Amino acid sequence: MKKFIRDNPTIAFGLGLPLLLVAVFLAISGIPALLVAPPQYEVLYATHYNFHNNAHNAIQIAVVGDRVQVSYVGNTQPYQTPRLWRFNPKTGAVREIALPLPAGLAPNSGHPVEAEKTPSVTPIDVPDLAELEVDSSSLAPDGYTFRSGADSYRGNVFDGLFFGSSRYRVQA
Predicted confidence (pLDDT) per residue in 9-51, tens digit: 898 889 899 999 999 999 999 888 888 888 899 999 888 776 5
How far is Cα 28 from Cα 30, in angstroms, rounded to an integer? 5
Task: Domain count for the chain, please give it.
Answer: 2
Averaged over 97-103, what is the pLDDT?
86
Residue-range definition of the domain harbouring residue 82:
43-146
pLDDT digits (tens, 9 = 90+) for 141-160: 888 887 766 555 556 666 65
Distance CA 86, CA 101 (A): 19
Query: Is residue 113 one of the residues assigned to a domain?
Result: yes
Residue 161 lies in a domain: no
Confidence class of residue 170 from pLDDT cuts 50, 70 and 90? Answer: very low
d(CA 72, CA 60): 6
Task: State what percent of residues in the chain have pLDDT above 70.
Answer: 74
Residue 152 lies in a domain: no
Q: Are residues 27 and 75 located together in one domain of the fold?
A: no
26 shares its domain with 93: no
Question: 91 in a domain, yes or no?
Answer: yes
Q: State the pTM of this model.
A: 0.65
**Residue 86 resides in a domain:** yes
Does a structural domain hold residue 165?
no
